[in-house]
Structure 1
C-alpha cells in the first residue's frame, strides 16, 4: 500500500509535490478530485494554487458561523430557493411534476446553495451546465438550465437580482436518441407479446387506440365510463378528456369500445388493465415497470434489429399521434394527446426520419 504524500508546510493549501515524480498536483476541496499540474516550476505551481484557492473561497466558501449568529449573512441562493418553492406551490402543478422539480431544486441547493445570490454570474451558470455536458448528460444539462432560468426569473420579478444570469447561456443541443416506433414494428412486437399474459397485449392496444401515456393507460377504470365515454384526467398535465367508445383508429383496425370489451373478459377488478389482485397490488392495478419490461421482452423477441436506443412503450403514444394525424388531422390529434400547444404535438408527430418532399 502506497504511503500518503506528506504535505509541505511551505506550500499553499491543497497543493502537493511528489518528489518521486517531481510533479505538482492541486486537490479540489469541493469534490476531492486531484488535478495534476505536471512538471512545472515551484513558483508557477504556487501561483496557480493560490489563484485556485482564492476562486474557491470567493465563490463557494460557506458563510462563517459567527456571521450567522450575528445575523449578518448575505442572502444566498439557498435562501431564495426556500421562497421559490413557495412560488412553485402556487402554480398548482401536477403531483408528479412537482415531485420531479423538487428533486431538481434539491440538487441545485446542494451544489450551488451556499453562493450569494447576487454574486452568481453567467460564468457560474455556464460552468455548472458544463458539469452535466462533460459527463454526456445533455438532457439533464438542458433541464437544469431551464430550471435555473425559472428560478432567477422569479428572483428578478421579486427584485432579488437585477438580471437573469441564465439568459445569455446557450441551451445544450440534444441529439435525438430514441428510435420512433413504426406501425410495422408495432405489429411485430405485438405478435411477440402474445406469448405474455393477455393483459399486456390489451395494454398495447389501449395505448394505441387512445394515444395516452403509460401512466394514464394503467389508471383507466371501468367506473370512469359513463354515457358511452371514458373520462380520463392525465396525471402529468391534469388535462381532462372524454373519449367516445366509438373512437376508431382505422389504420390499426382498433375501436375503443371493442378493446374495452376485451378488457372486461380479462380484468377481475375496476382497472381496465390488471394482472390480478396480489400482495404488491391489493387493488389489482398493474405496475408501470410491468408495462416497460413487458414491452422490452416483446421487442427483444420480435427479431427486429434496432439502434442503440430502441423504442419504448411510450413510443406507442407517438405512433398513435402520427396515425391519427394522417386520418383526422392535427387539430384532432392535439386534442386527443391532451397538448396545450401545437408545438408539443409537432414533436410527437416528428417521425425522426429523412423524408422526401413530394412535388
Structure 2
C-alpha cells in the first residue's frame, strides 16, 4: 500500500501511484486496519468521477461526532469540485489552513462560535502578513457553514456573520502606453503575442494562454472564460487581425504544430507561471517595476471605455455581469474622466 500524501490541500481519500510502466493509477482509500484501497483506474477524469460517487455514498456513523473536517470534506466533494480548477485549488489551500486551527484538536462542528472566527483571524495574521488570505479563508468558512445549514448538519447561525475582515485596497495600477511599449520592446516573441492578445481582447492571462487556432472562426475569436464560464465573440478586425496573422506566420516555422495561439520558440504551450517569468524578465530589462501581466486586462477595459465613451462596451469585452463591477475595475486605475467647470 502507498503511504498517505502529506501535502496540504490534497483531495481526501484520493491516492495516486505511478506503476513501473510509468502509468499513474488512482485509488480510493477507505482506511481501516488493514487499509482497504479501491482501484479507480488510470483515467484521471473517470477516477475523480468515481471518487465523488463514493464520497456521496458515504455518511458519518450515527454515533460519530460531526467535525469540521468532515463537513469541509463534504463541501469540497459536492460544491468545490464543481468550481473552476483555479478556484478549486484555492479552496483546497484555504481549507488546509482552516484545518490547522479548527481541527487541532478535532471537536464538534457546532462548537465553532463567532469568537473562534475572530481568534482565527488574529492567529492567521500574527506575523503581520496574510490579511488578504485570511479574508478568503473566512469567506470559505462562511460558505462551508451555509452549506452545512442547507444539508441539515446544523441549524445554528453562521459564526462568520458580523466578523469584519481586513481592509483590502485592491490594485489601482494602470499600464501607461509608454510602459507597455517599453516592455514589449524587451519581450521575446511569445510574450509579445501574449501581451497583444491580452490587451486587444481584454481577457485574463489563463484565458489568453488557452486560446487556440480552432477558436478563430466565422470572423471572430471565440472565448469561454474559465473563471465565470462567460462566452464572448471578439471580432477579428483591426490590430487583432494583424496579431493573429503574425502568430500564424511565426508558428509555420515550428517543426511540431501546436494549436495554442501563444507558444514558445519551440512550439510548446506556456503556463501562466512561465508567462509571468517572461514578463518579469522583460520588465527588468525595461527598468519598469510594479506592473503585472494581469494589469493588461484592466488597461484594456479602461482604454475601451475611454475610446467608446460608454463603459458598457468595456463591460461586454471583459465579460463582467454588471456595470458596477466594470466601473470599480477600471475607474480606480486611471481616475474618472470629467470635463472642466467651464
Same fold per superposition (TM over 0.5): yes
2:269 matched to 1:285? yes
2:182 matched to 1:182? no
1:327 aligns to what? 307
1:275 aligns to what? 264
Describe how 1:154-173 pairs up with structure 2 within 5 A: 154-159=147-152, 160-173=154-167
What are structure 2's unaligned runs of at least 5 residues?
Answer: 1-60
Equivalent of residue 87 in structure 2, options 79, 97, 111: 97
> Which secondary structure state, in structure 2, belongs to the residue aligned with residue 230 of structure 1?
strand
Measured against aligned partners, the alpha-carbon deviations of 1:58-105 in whole angstroms (never above 9, x if no partner) come to: xxxxxxxxxxxx974432112222332243158x32222222212322
Alpha-carbon separation, structure 1, partners of 2:156 and 2:329: 38
The answer (yes or no) to whether the contact 2:172–2:333 under 8 Å persists in 1 is no
1:138 aligns to what? 131
1:336 aligns to what? 317
> Which secondary structure state, in structure 2, belongs to the residue aligned with residue 350 of structure 1?
helix
Alpha-carbon separation, structure 2, partners of 1:105 and 1:258: 45
Alpha-carbon separation, structure 2, partners of 1:74 and 1:289: 42
Equivalent of residue 345 in structure 1, options 311, 314, 326: 326
Moved over 3 A (4+): 70-73, 175-180, 350-359
2:236 matched to 1:264? no
Alpha-carbon separation, structure 1, partners of 2:67 and 2:216: 51
Equivalent of residue 120 in structure 1, options 112, 123, 129: 112
Alpha-carbon separation, structure 2, partners of 1:287 and 1:340: 27
1:224 aligns to what? 215
| Count of matched residue positions in the alignment of Structure 1 and Structure 2 | 270
Equivalent of residue 297 in structure 2, options 312, 317, 320: 317
CA RMSD of aligned residues (A): 2.4
1:297 aligns to what? 281
Alpha-carbon separation, structure 2, partners of 1:297 and 1:74: 53
The answer (yes or no) to whether the contact 2:173–2:291 under 8 Å persists in 1 is yes
Measured against aligned partners, the alpha-carbon deviations of 1:191-210 in whole angstroms (never above 9, x if no partner) come to: 232xx3x2221211111101
Label 1:355 to 1:94 Cα distance change in 2 as closer, same or farther (>3 A): closer
Alpha-carbon separation, structure 2, partners of 1:184 and 1:153: 48
Offset at residue 355 of structure 1 (A): 6.5
1:56 aligns to what? none
Offset at residue 286 of structure 1 (A): 2.1
Label 1:292 to 1:89 Cα distance change in 2 as closer, same or farther (>3 A): closer
Equivalent of residue 192 in structure 1, options 170, 180, 186: 186
1:147 aligns to what? 140
> Which secondary structure state, in structure 1, belongs to the residue aligned with residue 160 of structure 2?
coil
The answer (yes or no) to whether the contact 2:80–2:91 under 8 Å persists in 1 is no
Measured against aligned partners, the alpha-carbon deviations of 1:131-183 in whole angstroms (never above 9, x if no partner) come to: 22332111101101111111112223334132000011002102346743222
- Report which of the two structures shows the higher radius of gyration computed on alpha carbons: 1
Alpha-carbon separation, structure 1, partners of 2:327 and 2:124: 28
What are structure 1's unaligned runs of at least 5 residues?
Answer: 1-69, 249-254, 279-283
2:28 aligns to what? none
Label 1:117 to 1:131 Cα distance change in 2 as closer, same or farther (>3 A): same
Label 1:146 to 1:89 Cα distance change in 2 as closer, same or farther (>3 A): closer
> Which secondary structure state, in structure 1, belongs to the residue aligned with residue 79 of structure 2?
helix
Label 1:177 to 1:222 Cα distance change in 2 as closer, same or farther (>3 A): closer
